[in-house]
Amino acid sequence: MNQYINCIAHKTSEGNLLLGENYTAMFDCGMALCADATIQNVKNALRGSPKGRQLDYLFITHTHYDHIGSLPFFRKEWPLLRLVTSQTGAAVLLKDTPRRVIRELSIAAAVERNMKFDTSYSDDAFHADVIVKEGDIISLGGLSVVTLETPGHTRDTLSFFIPELEMLIASETTGVLLHDGTVYPPYLTSFKDTISSIEKCRNMPYKFLSLPHMGLAQEKDANGFFDKAQEAGTACRDFIMSMNEKKLDEDAMLDMFTQEYGNETLFSYQPKDAFIANARATIACTLREFAPNDVDAAQQ
């Protein structure tokens, strides 16, 4: 599929380019630590296209640092670039705390990998230009980008469908396929929303599937992916609830969760600090949804 080009510059990063007849679009721009390499990949792909194009749109699946950390550098390279996100995502990007977290986790990821990037960028780069909601369509000329709201990983998470290519660009809500073939269930805000989002994606009329941190999936990886994702999410929910039935406190749950899910394969994708923060969120949202009385009692 020569219209959809993988520009990911690091296995823990993101970034895929879609070439329409009139406009070009990037889906996520990845981590700040590999911004230069990602931008070079995009420039190479654009240079090889018939018209020697510019980058017009950047569709963001969600506002985490590994998906959007390179945004300031992309804006510098392409000043007319328009960032597309949900209303919730747009609000998140204007807040000081998320901007600070993006910066801090970007720096931590670079230090862990012995890499560097220019930290003098302005946080004002983190703002939306185009707001989309469920069913909205943006035409690139010959190709249409249809918005799917798929919350669960975050409240602002989006997936996208390209009907002319029969291609679904799945968000991280549906799970992350690791290189050992397992699916990691990264739901952080709602298990119930996650299952609904997986069902929505499963029912789309896609032939080709683009997965988080991977790009276009091979047939062997795409087949049955959403079944695996639902099973992984349900198993995670059940594991957390089994810990709750044992009346474990938050620290004990976090320790057991880390023992269950925190392995070398996962840590090769995600710094441990980010894993711990996400694990706390997963445990907390599960208990809010399935053991609200226990949560209320613990807070009294």
Residue finishing a domain among 212, 230, 248: 230
Give the residue from 191, 193, 136 showing the smallest Cα distance to 160.
136
> 195 with 268, same domain?
no
pLDDT band at 21 (very low <50, low <70, confident <90, very high): very high
Supply the pLDDT for residue 269: 73
Query: Per-residue pLDDT averaged across 9-18, rounded?
Result: 93
- Same domain (yes/no): 109, 254: no
Q: Which of 175, 210, 230 is the last residue of a domain?
A: 230
Mean pLDDT (the chain, rounded) = 93
Q: What is the per-residue pLDDT for 103? A: 96
220 belongs to a structural domain: yes
Render pLDDT for 81-99 as a digit per residue (tens, 0 to 9).
Answer: 999 999 999 999 999 999 9
pLDDT of residue 51: 66
Q: Which domain holds residue 250?
A: 240-294
Number of domains in the chain: 2
Indicate the residue among 230, 248, 283 that finishes a domain. Answer: 230
Are 48 and 134 within one domain?
Answer: yes
Q: What pLDDT sits at residue 296?
A: 53
- 298 pLDDT exceeds 80? no
Question: What is the per-residue pLDDT for 182?
Answer: 86
pLDDT given at position 271: 76
Same domain for 145 and 253?
no
Which pLDDT does position 274 carry in this prediction?
A: 83
CATH number for the domain spanning 63: value is 3.60.15.10
Same domain, 70 and 189: yes
Domain membership of residue 123 (yes or no) is yes
DSSP string, the chain: -TTEEE---STT---EEEE-SS-EEEE----GGGHHHHHHHHHHHHHTSTT-PPP-EEE-S---HHHHTTHHHHHHH-TT-EEEEEHHHHHHHTSHHHHHHHHHHHHHHHHHTT----TT--GGG---SEEE-TT-EEE-SS-EEEEEE-TTSSTT-EEEEEGGGTEEE--GGG-EE-TTS-EE----S-HHHHHHHHHHHHTS--SEEEETTTEEPPHHHHTTHHHHHHHHHHHHHHHHHHHHHTT--HHHHHHHHHHHH--HHHHTTS-HHHHHHHHHHHHHHHHHHH-HHHHHHHH-
Same domain, yes or no, for 20 and 118?
yes
The predicted pLDDT at position 186 comes to 84
**What confidence category does residue 300 fall into, taking pLDDT thresholds of 50, 70 and 90?**
very low
Q: Are residues 203 and 248 in the same domain?
A: no
Per-residue pLDDT averaged across 207-217, rounded?
95
* 235, part of any domain: no
| Between 1 and 127, the higher pLDDT residue | 127
Q: Are residues 63 and 111 in the same domain?
A: yes
- For 190, phi then psi, to 5°, come to -170, 125
Question: What is the mean predicted confidence (pLDDT) over 93-116?
Answer: 94
**Are 75 and 196 in the same domain?**
yes
